[in-house]
Amino acid sequence: MIKEALRSILPDRTAFHLLATALGRAVQHGSLVVIDPWGQRHVFGPDDTPTASIRLTDPRIPGRILADPMLGVGEAYMDGTLVLEQGSLRDFLMMGASIASDLASPSQKPQRPNPVERARTNVAHHYDLSEELYRLFLDPDLQYSCAYFQDGDESLELAQAKKKRHIAAKLRLETGARVLDIGSGWGGLALELASRHGVEVDGLTLSQEQFKVATARVADGGLEPHVRFHLRDYRHETGVYDRIVSVGMFEHVGPTHYGEFFNIVHRLLAPDGLAVIHAIGRTGPPSGCDPWIEKYIFPGGYCPALSEVFTAIEPSGLRVTDVELLPLHYAETLRCWSERFRAHRARAAEIYDERFCRMWEFYLAACEAAFRGGNMTVFQIQLTRSIKASPPTRDYMIDEERRLLV
Protein backbone atom coordinates (compact mmCIF):
# COMPACT_ATOMS: atom_id res chain seq x y z
CA MET A 1 0.00 0.00 0.00
CA ILE A 2 2.83 2.45 0.83
CA LYS A 3 4.55 1.80 -2.49
CA GLU A 4 1.26 2.20 -4.36
CA ALA A 5 0.80 5.56 -2.70
CA LEU A 6 4.36 6.60 -3.53
CA ARG A 7 3.84 5.69 -7.16
CA SER A 8 0.90 8.07 -7.42
CA ILE A 9 2.51 11.08 -5.72
CA LEU A 10 6.26 10.90 -6.44
CA PRO A 11 7.69 12.86 -9.36
CA ASP A 12 9.13 10.53 -11.99
CA ARG A 13 12.77 11.57 -11.36
CA THR A 14 12.34 11.08 -7.61
CA ALA A 15 10.93 7.61 -8.23
CA PHE A 16 13.95 6.75 -10.37
CA HIS A 17 16.30 8.05 -7.68
CA LEU A 18 14.65 5.74 -5.12
CA LEU A 19 14.84 2.84 -7.57
CA ALA A 20 18.51 3.54 -8.24
CA THR A 21 19.23 3.60 -4.50
CA ALA A 22 17.54 0.21 -4.11
CA LEU A 23 19.44 -1.24 -7.07
CA GLY A 24 22.69 0.03 -5.62
CA ARG A 25 22.06 -2.11 -2.54
CA ALA A 26 20.59 -5.11 -4.35
CA VAL A 27 23.05 -5.80 -7.19
CA GLN A 28 25.80 -7.70 -5.39
CA HIS A 29 27.00 -9.83 -8.32
CA GLY A 30 27.62 -8.99 -11.95
CA SER A 31 26.77 -5.59 -13.31
CA LEU A 32 23.49 -4.03 -14.43
CA VAL A 33 23.37 -0.92 -16.63
CA VAL A 34 20.16 1.09 -16.62
CA ILE A 35 19.63 3.93 -19.08
CA ASP A 36 16.96 6.11 -17.53
CA PRO A 37 14.06 7.74 -19.43
CA TRP A 38 16.12 10.95 -19.70
CA GLY A 39 19.06 9.24 -21.39
CA GLN A 40 21.46 9.03 -18.45
CA ARG A 41 23.46 5.84 -17.90
CA HIS A 42 23.68 4.25 -14.43
CA VAL A 43 25.83 1.24 -13.50
CA PHE A 44 25.04 -1.04 -10.56
CA GLY A 45 27.11 -3.93 -9.27
CA PRO A 46 30.79 -4.75 -8.73
CA ASP A 47 31.81 -6.05 -12.19
CA ASP A 48 33.27 -3.93 -14.98
CA THR A 49 31.58 -5.86 -17.79
CA PRO A 50 27.77 -5.53 -17.76
CA THR A 51 25.76 -8.72 -17.36
CA ALA A 52 22.79 -6.90 -18.85
CA SER A 53 21.92 -3.41 -19.98
CA ILE A 54 18.36 -2.07 -20.19
CA ARG A 55 16.77 1.17 -21.35
CA LEU A 56 13.63 2.57 -19.74
CA THR A 57 11.71 4.66 -22.28
CA ASP A 58 8.73 5.75 -20.16
CA PRO A 59 9.20 8.08 -17.15
CA ARG A 60 6.39 6.27 -15.32
CA ILE A 61 8.20 2.92 -15.27
CA PRO A 62 10.44 3.55 -12.20
CA GLY A 63 7.40 4.25 -10.03
CA ARG A 64 5.64 1.16 -11.31
CA ILE A 65 8.68 -1.00 -10.58
CA LEU A 66 8.94 0.43 -7.07
CA ALA A 67 5.26 -0.31 -6.45
CA ASP A 68 5.56 -3.91 -7.61
CA PRO A 69 8.89 -5.05 -9.09
CA MET A 70 7.79 -8.18 -10.97
CA LEU A 71 4.55 -6.69 -12.27
CA GLY A 72 6.23 -3.42 -13.22
CA VAL A 73 9.16 -5.06 -15.01
CA GLY A 74 6.98 -7.67 -16.72
CA GLU A 75 4.47 -5.17 -18.06
CA ALA A 76 7.22 -2.79 -19.18
CA TYR A 77 8.88 -5.61 -21.15
CA MET A 78 5.56 -6.63 -22.68
CA ASP A 79 4.80 -3.03 -23.69
CA GLY A 80 8.28 -2.42 -25.10
CA THR A 81 9.05 0.37 -22.62
CA LEU A 82 11.83 -1.73 -21.06
CA VAL A 83 14.30 -2.47 -23.85
CA LEU A 84 17.26 -4.83 -23.63
CA GLU A 85 20.36 -3.03 -24.92
CA GLN A 86 22.88 -5.73 -23.99
CA GLY A 87 22.59 -9.31 -22.78
CA SER A 88 19.61 -11.61 -23.06
CA LEU A 89 16.29 -11.52 -21.25
CA ARG A 90 17.50 -14.64 -19.43
CA ASP A 91 20.67 -12.81 -18.27
CA PHE A 92 18.62 -9.88 -17.02
CA LEU A 93 16.05 -12.01 -15.18
CA MET A 94 18.69 -14.22 -13.59
CA MET A 95 20.00 -11.02 -12.00
CA GLY A 96 16.44 -10.05 -11.18
CA ALA A 97 15.82 -13.24 -9.18
CA SER A 98 18.11 -11.91 -6.46
CA ILE A 99 17.25 -8.22 -6.93
CA ALA A 100 13.48 -8.67 -6.63
CA SER A 101 13.67 -9.99 -3.07
CA ASP A 102 15.42 -6.77 -2.03
CA LEU A 103 12.91 -4.49 -3.77
CA ALA A 104 9.72 -6.35 -2.87
CA SER A 105 8.00 -6.35 0.49
CA PRO A 106 7.13 -9.89 1.61
CA SER A 107 3.38 -10.36 1.74
CA GLN A 108 0.83 -13.10 1.51
CA LYS A 109 -2.21 -12.27 -0.54
CA PRO A 110 -5.38 -13.87 0.80
CA GLN A 111 -6.44 -16.75 -1.42
CA ARG A 112 -9.95 -16.78 -2.81
CA PRO A 113 -12.01 -19.98 -2.87
CA ASN A 114 -11.67 -21.92 -6.12
CA PRO A 115 -15.08 -23.44 -6.91
CA VAL A 116 -15.53 -25.59 -10.01
CA GLU A 117 -16.70 -22.82 -12.36
CA ARG A 118 -13.87 -20.49 -11.39
CA ALA A 119 -11.39 -23.36 -11.74
CA ARG A 120 -12.72 -24.05 -15.24
CA THR A 121 -12.37 -20.39 -16.24
CA ASN A 122 -8.83 -20.18 -14.87
CA VAL A 123 -7.80 -23.34 -16.71
CA ALA A 124 -9.26 -22.04 -19.98
CA HIS A 125 -7.19 -18.84 -19.73
CA HIS A 126 -3.95 -20.77 -20.13
CA TYR A 127 -4.60 -24.28 -21.40
CA ASP A 128 -7.21 -23.45 -24.04
CA LEU A 129 -4.71 -21.44 -26.06
CA SER A 130 -3.86 -22.70 -29.54
CA GLU A 131 -2.57 -26.27 -29.65
CA GLU A 132 -0.14 -25.08 -32.32
CA LEU A 133 1.40 -22.61 -29.88
CA TYR A 134 2.30 -25.41 -27.47
CA ARG A 135 3.64 -27.58 -30.27
CA LEU A 136 6.11 -24.79 -31.09
CA PHE A 137 8.09 -25.32 -27.88
CA LEU A 138 7.04 -28.59 -26.21
CA ASP A 139 8.26 -32.07 -27.10
CA PRO A 140 6.08 -34.09 -29.56
CA ASP A 141 4.28 -35.80 -26.65
CA LEU A 142 3.17 -32.36 -25.38
CA GLN A 143 4.58 -32.86 -21.90
CA TYR A 144 3.97 -29.50 -20.17
CA SER A 145 5.67 -30.18 -16.85
CA CYS A 146 9.13 -30.66 -15.38
CA ALA A 147 11.29 -33.12 -17.33
CA TYR A 148 13.78 -35.45 -15.65
CA PHE A 149 17.39 -34.79 -16.67
CA GLN A 150 18.83 -37.90 -15.04
CA ASP A 151 22.26 -37.57 -16.68
CA GLY A 152 22.14 -33.81 -17.25
CA ASP A 153 22.75 -33.75 -20.98
CA GLU A 154 19.57 -35.35 -22.34
CA SER A 155 17.49 -33.88 -25.12
CA LEU A 156 14.13 -32.50 -24.02
CA GLU A 157 12.41 -35.48 -25.65
CA LEU A 158 14.52 -38.00 -23.73
CA ALA A 159 14.22 -36.09 -20.45
CA GLN A 160 10.42 -36.04 -20.75
CA ALA A 161 10.40 -39.78 -21.51
CA LYS A 162 12.53 -40.32 -18.40
CA LYS A 163 10.08 -38.22 -16.37
CA LYS A 164 7.21 -40.50 -17.36
CA ARG A 165 9.34 -43.56 -16.57
CA HIS A 166 10.35 -42.07 -13.19
CA ILE A 167 6.73 -41.49 -12.22
CA ALA A 168 5.68 -44.93 -13.45
CA ALA A 169 8.36 -46.52 -11.27
CA LYS A 170 7.04 -44.70 -8.21
CA LEU A 171 3.49 -45.88 -8.99
CA ARG A 172 4.46 -49.59 -8.83
CA LEU A 173 2.04 -50.43 -11.64
CA GLU A 174 0.55 -53.87 -12.15
CA THR A 175 -1.19 -55.11 -15.29
CA GLY A 176 -4.90 -54.39 -15.19
CA ALA A 177 -4.69 -51.81 -12.39
CA ARG A 178 -7.16 -48.92 -12.47
CA VAL A 179 -5.35 -45.56 -12.61
CA LEU A 180 -6.78 -42.06 -12.19
CA ASP A 181 -4.84 -39.19 -13.79
CA ILE A 182 -5.96 -35.91 -12.19
CA GLY A 183 -5.09 -33.09 -14.59
CA SER A 184 -4.32 -35.29 -17.59
CA GLY A 185 -3.19 -32.53 -19.97
CA TRP A 186 -2.81 -33.60 -23.60
CA GLY A 187 -2.85 -37.23 -22.54
CA GLY A 188 0.76 -38.29 -22.93
CA LEU A 189 1.25 -39.80 -19.48
CA ALA A 190 -2.04 -41.72 -19.55
CA LEU A 191 -1.26 -43.13 -22.98
CA GLU A 192 2.23 -44.15 -21.82
CA LEU A 193 0.94 -45.91 -18.72
CA ALA A 194 -1.72 -47.82 -20.66
CA SER A 195 0.46 -48.83 -23.61
CA ARG A 196 3.62 -49.79 -21.68
CA HIS A 197 2.18 -51.08 -18.42
CA GLY A 198 -1.18 -52.56 -19.38
CA VAL A 199 -3.24 -50.48 -16.97
CA GLU A 200 -6.69 -48.92 -17.35
CA VAL A 201 -6.56 -45.10 -17.14
CA ASP A 202 -9.21 -42.45 -16.55
CA GLY A 203 -7.95 -38.91 -17.10
CA LEU A 204 -9.60 -35.75 -15.77
CA THR A 205 -9.21 -32.28 -17.29
CA LEU A 206 -11.12 -29.00 -17.35
CA SER A 207 -9.50 -27.83 -20.60
CA GLN A 208 -11.64 -28.19 -23.71
CA GLU A 209 -8.58 -28.06 -25.97
CA GLN A 210 -6.62 -30.63 -24.00
CA PHE A 211 -9.63 -32.94 -23.85
CA LYS A 212 -10.08 -32.72 -27.63
CA VAL A 213 -6.42 -33.49 -28.35
CA ALA A 214 -6.13 -36.25 -25.74
CA THR A 215 -9.30 -38.00 -26.92
CA ALA A 216 -8.09 -37.96 -30.52
CA ARG A 217 -4.77 -39.45 -29.44
CA VAL A 218 -6.54 -42.39 -27.79
CA ALA A 219 -8.22 -43.24 -31.08
CA ASP A 220 -5.03 -42.74 -33.07
CA GLY A 221 -3.14 -45.05 -30.70
CA GLY A 222 -5.81 -47.76 -30.74
CA LEU A 223 -6.10 -47.63 -26.96
CA GLU A 224 -9.87 -47.66 -26.60
CA PRO A 225 -11.29 -48.67 -24.16
CA HIS A 226 -8.16 -48.76 -21.98
CA VAL A 227 -7.83 -44.95 -21.77
CA ARG A 228 -10.76 -42.62 -21.19
CA PHE A 229 -10.62 -38.85 -20.76
CA HIS A 230 -13.33 -36.84 -19.04
CA LEU A 231 -14.14 -33.12 -18.83
CA ARG A 232 -14.58 -33.39 -15.09
CA ASP A 233 -13.39 -31.68 -11.93
CA TYR A 234 -11.65 -33.96 -9.46
CA ARG A 235 -14.31 -33.04 -6.91
CA HIS A 236 -16.92 -34.78 -9.04
CA GLU A 237 -15.05 -38.08 -9.41
CA THR A 238 -16.68 -41.09 -7.71
CA GLY A 239 -14.65 -44.16 -8.70
CA VAL A 240 -12.13 -46.18 -6.70
CA TYR A 241 -8.63 -46.58 -8.13
CA ASP A 242 -5.58 -48.68 -7.44
CA ARG A 243 -3.27 -45.81 -8.40
CA ILE A 244 -3.72 -42.04 -8.58
CA VAL A 245 -1.29 -39.70 -10.33
CA SER A 246 -1.42 -35.94 -10.71
CA VAL A 247 1.23 -34.00 -12.62
CA GLY A 248 1.20 -30.20 -12.77
CA MET A 249 -2.37 -29.81 -11.52
CA PHE A 250 -2.01 -29.21 -7.77
CA GLU A 251 -0.81 -25.65 -8.49
CA HIS A 252 -4.40 -24.88 -9.58
CA VAL A 253 -6.17 -26.33 -6.54
CA GLY A 254 -5.80 -23.29 -4.26
CA PRO A 255 -4.80 -23.32 -0.56
CA THR A 256 -8.38 -23.14 0.67
CA HIS A 257 -9.02 -26.50 -1.01
CA TYR A 258 -5.86 -28.44 -0.08
CA GLY A 259 -7.54 -30.37 2.71
CA GLU A 260 -10.46 -31.20 0.44
CA PHE A 261 -8.08 -32.37 -2.32
CA PHE A 262 -6.24 -34.84 -0.13
CA ASN A 263 -9.46 -36.06 1.48
CA ILE A 264 -10.74 -36.82 -2.03
CA VAL A 265 -7.52 -38.62 -2.95
CA HIS A 266 -7.98 -40.73 0.18
CA ARG A 267 -11.61 -41.49 -0.75
CA LEU A 268 -10.78 -42.42 -4.36
CA LEU A 269 -7.75 -44.56 -3.49
CA ALA A 270 -8.13 -48.29 -2.84
CA PRO A 271 -7.08 -49.42 0.67
CA ASP A 272 -3.85 -50.88 -0.72
CA GLY A 273 -3.48 -48.14 -3.34
CA LEU A 274 -0.72 -45.64 -4.00
CA ALA A 275 -0.67 -42.06 -5.32
CA VAL A 276 2.03 -39.76 -6.71
CA ILE A 277 1.52 -35.98 -6.72
CA HIS A 278 3.96 -33.95 -8.86
CA ALA A 279 3.68 -30.16 -8.58
CA ILE A 280 5.48 -26.84 -8.30
CA GLY A 281 6.06 -25.51 -4.81
CA ARG A 282 8.45 -23.38 -2.81
CA THR A 283 11.11 -24.24 -0.26
CA GLY A 284 10.60 -21.07 1.76
CA PRO A 285 7.63 -20.12 3.95
CA PRO A 286 4.15 -19.46 2.53
CA SER A 287 4.06 -16.37 0.36
CA GLY A 288 1.80 -14.48 -1.99
CA CYS A 289 1.39 -15.29 -5.67
CA ASP A 290 3.64 -13.55 -8.15
CA PRO A 291 1.33 -10.73 -9.35
CA TRP A 292 2.56 -10.77 -12.97
CA ILE A 293 2.22 -14.57 -13.29
CA GLU A 294 -1.23 -14.48 -11.69
CA LYS A 295 -2.47 -11.64 -13.90
CA TYR A 296 -1.14 -12.82 -17.26
CA ILE A 297 -0.28 -16.53 -17.10
CA PHE A 298 -1.98 -18.56 -14.35
CA PRO A 299 -4.96 -16.72 -12.80
CA GLY A 300 -5.91 -18.40 -9.56
CA GLY A 301 -2.66 -20.37 -9.48
CA TYR A 302 -0.64 -20.79 -6.30
CA CYS A 303 2.64 -22.62 -5.65
CA PRO A 304 2.55 -23.82 -2.06
CA ALA A 305 5.24 -23.98 0.55
CA LEU A 306 6.02 -27.57 1.43
CA SER A 307 4.75 -26.85 4.95
CA GLU A 308 1.30 -26.03 3.51
CA VAL A 309 1.19 -29.30 1.60
CA PHE A 310 2.18 -31.52 4.52
CA THR A 311 -0.18 -29.69 6.87
CA ALA A 312 -3.04 -30.50 4.49
CA ILE A 313 -2.01 -34.15 4.09
CA GLU A 314 -1.72 -34.92 7.82
CA PRO A 315 -5.46 -35.06 8.75
CA SER A 316 -6.49 -36.84 5.51
CA GLY A 317 -5.47 -40.33 6.60
CA LEU A 318 -2.89 -40.58 3.83
CA ARG A 319 0.70 -41.57 4.61
CA VAL A 320 3.69 -39.83 3.00
CA THR A 321 6.03 -42.61 1.89
CA ASP A 322 8.45 -40.74 -0.39
CA VAL A 323 9.37 -37.13 -1.23
CA GLU A 324 11.71 -35.88 -3.97
CA LEU A 325 12.59 -32.30 -4.99
CA LEU A 326 13.62 -31.45 -8.56
CA PRO A 327 14.20 -27.67 -8.87
CA LEU A 328 17.11 -27.69 -11.33
CA HIS A 329 15.33 -30.22 -13.53
CA TYR A 330 12.58 -27.65 -14.09
CA ALA A 331 15.12 -24.89 -14.68
CA GLU A 332 16.59 -27.00 -17.50
CA THR A 333 13.13 -27.79 -18.86
CA LEU A 334 12.30 -24.08 -19.01
CA ARG A 335 15.61 -23.31 -20.70
CA CYS A 336 14.75 -25.83 -23.42
CA TRP A 337 11.25 -24.41 -23.82
CA SER A 338 12.62 -20.86 -24.07
CA GLU A 339 15.11 -21.83 -26.78
CA ARG A 340 12.44 -23.61 -28.78
CA PHE A 341 10.00 -20.74 -28.44
CA ARG A 342 12.61 -18.25 -29.67
CA ALA A 343 13.34 -20.51 -32.64
CA HIS A 344 9.65 -20.43 -33.63
CA ARG A 345 8.84 -16.93 -32.44
CA ALA A 346 7.79 -15.66 -35.86
CA ARG A 347 5.07 -18.29 -36.08
CA ALA A 348 3.89 -17.51 -32.55
CA ALA A 349 3.54 -13.86 -33.57
CA GLU A 350 1.40 -14.94 -36.52
CA ILE A 351 -0.86 -16.97 -34.24
CA TYR A 352 -1.13 -14.17 -31.66
CA ASP A 353 0.89 -10.92 -31.78
CA GLU A 354 4.15 -9.28 -30.73
CA ARG A 355 2.95 -8.38 -27.23
CA PHE A 356 1.89 -11.97 -26.63
CA CYS A 357 5.34 -13.17 -27.70
CA ARG A 358 7.00 -10.77 -25.27
CA MET A 359 4.68 -12.00 -22.53
CA TRP A 360 5.52 -15.65 -23.27
CA GLU A 361 9.26 -14.96 -23.45
CA PHE A 362 9.10 -13.21 -20.10
CA TYR A 363 7.06 -16.04 -18.56
CA LEU A 364 9.50 -18.77 -19.56
CA ALA A 365 12.66 -16.81 -18.69
CA ALA A 366 11.32 -15.52 -15.36
CA CYS A 367 10.27 -19.01 -14.31
CA GLU A 368 13.68 -20.43 -15.18
CA ALA A 369 15.30 -17.73 -13.05
CA ALA A 370 12.97 -18.55 -10.14
CA PHE A 371 13.92 -22.24 -10.23
CA ARG A 372 17.61 -21.62 -10.81
CA GLY A 373 18.18 -18.73 -8.43
CA GLY A 374 15.07 -18.42 -6.27
CA ASN A 375 13.17 -20.68 -3.88
CA MET A 376 10.90 -22.42 -6.37
CA THR A 377 11.02 -26.21 -6.59
CA VAL A 378 9.18 -29.21 -7.96
CA PHE A 379 8.08 -31.90 -5.55
CA GLN A 380 6.99 -35.48 -6.10
CA ILE A 381 5.16 -36.89 -3.10
CA GLN A 382 4.19 -40.56 -2.88
CA LEU A 383 1.12 -41.24 -0.74
CA THR A 384 -0.55 -44.43 0.49
CA ARG A 385 -3.39 -45.44 2.75
CA SER A 386 -1.47 -48.46 4.05
CA ILE A 387 2.19 -48.53 5.02
CA LYS A 388 2.40 -51.94 3.31
CA ALA A 389 1.64 -50.41 -0.11
CA SER A 390 5.20 -49.13 -0.54
CA PRO A 391 8.46 -51.05 0.05
CA PRO A 392 10.76 -49.84 2.84
CA THR A 393 13.56 -48.74 0.46
CA ARG A 394 13.79 -47.00 -2.91
CA ASP A 395 15.51 -49.93 -4.60
CA TYR A 396 12.30 -50.92 -6.38
CA MET A 397 12.21 -47.53 -8.17
CA ILE A 398 15.74 -47.96 -9.50
CA ASP A 399 15.07 -51.57 -10.56
CA GLU A 400 11.87 -50.58 -12.36
CA GLU A 401 13.48 -47.68 -14.22
CA ARG A 402 16.26 -49.99 -15.37
CA ARG A 403 13.71 -52.53 -16.55
CA LEU A 404 11.88 -49.86 -18.53
CA LEU A 405 15.09 -48.97 -20.39
CA VAL A 406 14.81 -52.24 -22.30
DSSP 301: -
Strand residue runs (E) in 69-113: 82-86
Q: By three-state DSSP, how is residue 144 classified?
A: coil
Tell me the DSSP string of 331-400: HHHHHHHHHHHHHTHHHHHHHS-HHHHHHHHHHHHHHHHHHHHSSEEEEEEEEESSGGGS-SSTHHHHHH
Q: What is the DSSP string of 191-257?
A: HHHHHHH--EEEEEE--HHHHHHHHHHHHHTT-TTTEEEEE--GGG----EEEEEEES-GGGT-GGG
Q: Tell me the CA distances in angstroms from 211 to 188, 245, 323, one per residue in order.
A: 12, 17, 30
Has 146 been annotated as catalytic?
A: no
Q: Radius of gyration (Cα) for the chain, nearest Å?
A: 22
Of 194, 251, 203, nearest to 231 by C-alpha is 203
Known catalytic residues are 367
